[in-house]
Amino acid sequence: MVAGGKGGRIINVGAKQGLSGAANHAAYGASKAALLRLTETLALELKPEGINVNAIIPSIIDTTANRNTLPNADPGRWVHPNSLAGVMGFLASDAARDISGALIPVYGGTL
């Protein structure tokens, strides 16, 4: 992107567990926390090049794998993949040209 000189958008996908610890998820939470700091740092470094860097932070995403892993949970409260796609589409659009370094929570019906 830098070499091309036309700017661009980078959208990272974090996770709510990157914001606070959770038992039995040390490596996952640490890696997601690192991704959020990377997002903030790259936003500062690449803004002069016209490259915006943001991250979305979903809670549980309504996927087949999550439904199988959490059979007693209420998937109606989870984030639908189309919701994430909508936020990502916005961040990739010209309407978000002034947004960089944002960590955007997408939690659906969960907190």
Report the CATH number that the domain containing residue 92 is assigned in CATH: 3.40.50.720
- Which entry of 21, 28, 44, 109 is annotated as an active-site residue? 28
Task: Kindly state whether residue 54 falls inside one of the protein's structural domains.
Answer: yes
Task: Kindly state whether residue 111 falls inside one of the protein's structural domains.
Answer: no
Q: What is the pLDDT of residue 55?
A: 98
Q: What is the pLDDT of residue 111?
A: 67
**pLDDT for residue 110 is more than 90:** no
**Average pLDDT of span 7-22:** 94
Number of domains in the chain: 1
28: annotated active-site residue: yes
**pLDDT for residue 14 is more than 70:** yes
| DSSP-assigned states of every residue in the chain | -TTTTS-EEEEEE--GGGTS--TT-HHHHHHHHHHHHHHHHHHHHHGGGTEEEEEEEESSB--HHHHHH-TTS-GGGSBPHHHHHHHHHHHHSGGGTT--S-EEEE-TT--
Q: What is the pLDDT of residues 17-54, one digit of tens each?
A: 999 888 999 999 999 999 999 999 999 999 999 999 99
Domain housing 21? 8-106
Task: Kindly state whether residue 1 falls inside one of the protein's structural domains.
Answer: no
Task: Kindly state whether residue 2 falls inside one of the protein's structural domains.
Answer: no
Task: Kindly state whether residue 48 falls inside one of the protein's structural domains.
Answer: yes
Note the pTM of the prediction, 2 decimals: 0.91
